[in-house]
Amino acid sequence: MKKSLLIIGFVWPEPNSSAAGSRMLQLINMFLKANYEITFATTCVKTENAFDLKSIKVKTETIQLNHFSFDTFIKKLNPSVVMFDRFMTEEQFGWRVSQQCSNAFKILDTEDLHFLRKGRHEALKNNAFFDISYLQNDYAKREIASILRCDLTFIISQVEQDILITQFGIKPNLLHYLPFLLDPISIEVQKAVPNFKERANFITIGNFLHEPNTDAIGFLKSEIWPIIRQKLPDAQMHIYGAYAAQKHKQLEDKHQGFLIKGYTDNVSEVVKNAKVLLAPLRFGAGLKGKLIDAMQNGTPCITTTIGAEGMYGTIRDTNAFIADDPEQFAKHAIELYTNKIYWRGKQKNGFMILNTLYDKNIYLKDTIETIENLQADLVAHRQQNFIGQMLTHHTLQSNKYMSKWIEEKNK
């Protein structure tokens, strides 16, 4: 059988706009290295920030929701593997894949567990303790159903893998831990980044369409930055991220050194010239791309328990101070900004963590072998997941006729 992969994308990959965009390119490169022919298909309109997939010999297609043309497209393509970018695309197209290409190996890439992020957000808005009632939300029912309908799900955080297994009883053979896949940082590169004296100002970075980021910026401005600015009156807070709307730009306060910089097409450049990265995330899930950017560019961090979750494994000496209280957060930020010894130690820790936990060479071969071994015995693998078979059956029936009704309505 030919090794071919169809990726059904939620959006076009934008590696300079989001960690999800970087993650998608890492997965694409993993499959390219394993000699897969890749087609990337999405319903989304391409933006000017989208990566040129054709430059790396990935074919691209625009597909339609609730339209028979997808059936014709995928039947002709006949991929050996289909990867869904987030559970929403599996809901939309999974039943069509099962109907037209029943032997295709189905992978779900969650990016992060959306239901975990949504539940934490609700608990924060209600000023409530995050308990099982927030965990078992409607998003959880949808996302876990997608996980069960697929043959394998890539999980970016070991914490999230543990939640799925212990809280929801997902069988471990349906999950595959796959963090960010990065190139090791050589000693030469580590030595070449700007040093403590060559850097200035604080930075944070993140897509403004992502709610945890916008909440963190508001929290930073109202609760944390005033404390830092009082002690460091000459320091500035530089905030980068794609898709800053007017409401976000209104947060800027030049008098207080709180500057909304917006989109940058060179994340590494702005991060490596900043002295300290601040990531006061109050809710969220998955791994935090901004903390990866910081480690890659030798920029120490202050973050929260949520920000640090899953990032460091069992390693205790990290590149970040961790604090949830605004005063403690600000105190650590000031210490790190002014103390070269602290700063240099955290920088070294970051490089060590990247090379220990995120070296792509640790994961590439094992991931491809896992997929191909399961493919070779796909019938038996699916027989061990009867609930998944049942969900696929009922979803195919219900979504099929709902989609056909929408299709007729749209004519």
Q: Give dist(CA 150, CA 120) in Å, integer.
A: 25
Structure confidence at residue 67 (pLDDT): 87
Return the HEC string of the chain. Answer: CCCEEEEEECCCCCCCCCHHHHHHHHHHHHHHHCCCEEEEEECCCCCCCCCCHHHHCCEEEECCCCCCHHHHHHHHHCCCEEEEECHHHHHHHHHHHHHHCCCCEEEEECCCCHHHHHHHHHHHHCCCCCCHHHHCCHHHHHHHHHHHHCCEEEECCHHHHHHHHHHHCCCHHHEEECCCCECCCCHHHHHHCCCCCCCCCEEEECCCCCHHHHHHHHHHHHHHHHHHHHHCCCCCEEEECCCCCHHHHCCCEHHHCEEEEECCCCHHHHHHCCCEEEECCCCCCCCCHHHHHHHHCCCCEEECHHHHCCCCCCCCCCCEEECCCHHHHHHHHHHHHHCHHHHHHHHHHHHHHHHHHCEHHHCHHHHHHHHHHHHHCHHHHHHCCHHHHHHHHHHHHHHHHHHHHHHHHHC
Task: Return the structure tokens found at 335.
Answer: 């210490």
Structure confidence at residue 222 (pLDDT): 96
Q: Give dist(CA 404, CA 67) in Å, integer.
A: 8
Structure confidence at residue 204 (pLDDT): 97
| Residues paired with 205 in a beta bridge | 240
Structure confidence at residue 409 (pLDDT): 67
Global pTM? Answer: 0.94
Q: Assess contact for 277 and 301: CB atoms under 8 A.
A: yes
Among 236, 232, 204, 187, which residue's Cα sits nearest to residue 339? 232
Q: Assess contact for 51 and 21: CB atoms under 8 A.
A: yes
Q: Are strands 175-177 and 202-205 parallel, antiparallel or unpaired?
A: unpaired
Task: Return the structure tokens found at 141.
Answer: 């029912």
Type of residue found at 29: N
Q: Assess contact for 26 and 109: CB atoms under 8 A.
A: no
| Residues paired with 37 in a beta bridge | 4
Structure confidence at residue 2 (pLDDT): 76
Q: Give dist(CA 141, CA 359) in Å, integer.
A: 33
How confident is the chain (411 residues) per 10-residue block, as mean pLDDT?
A: 91 89 96 97 91 96 92 96 97 94 97 96 97 96 97 98 98 98 96 96 95 96 97 97 91 94 93 98 96 97 97 95 98 98 97 97 97 96 94 76 67 66
Q: Give dist(CA 164, CA 169) in Å, integer.
A: 6
Type of residue found at 372: E
Structure confidence at residue 399 (pLDDT): 65
Q: Give dist(CA 5, CA 71) in Å, integer.
A: 16
Q: Assess contact for 284 and 212: CB atoms under 8 A.
A: yes
Task: Return the structure tokens found at 295.
Answer: 């480690």
Among 290, 316, 285, 312, which residue's Cα sits nearest to residue 301? 290
Among 181, 191, 178, 241, which residue's Cα sits nearest to residue 215? 241
How buried is 24 (Cβ within 10 angstroms: 0-12 exposed, 13-18 middle, 19+ buried)?
Answer: buried
Structure confidence at residue 393 (pLDDT): 84
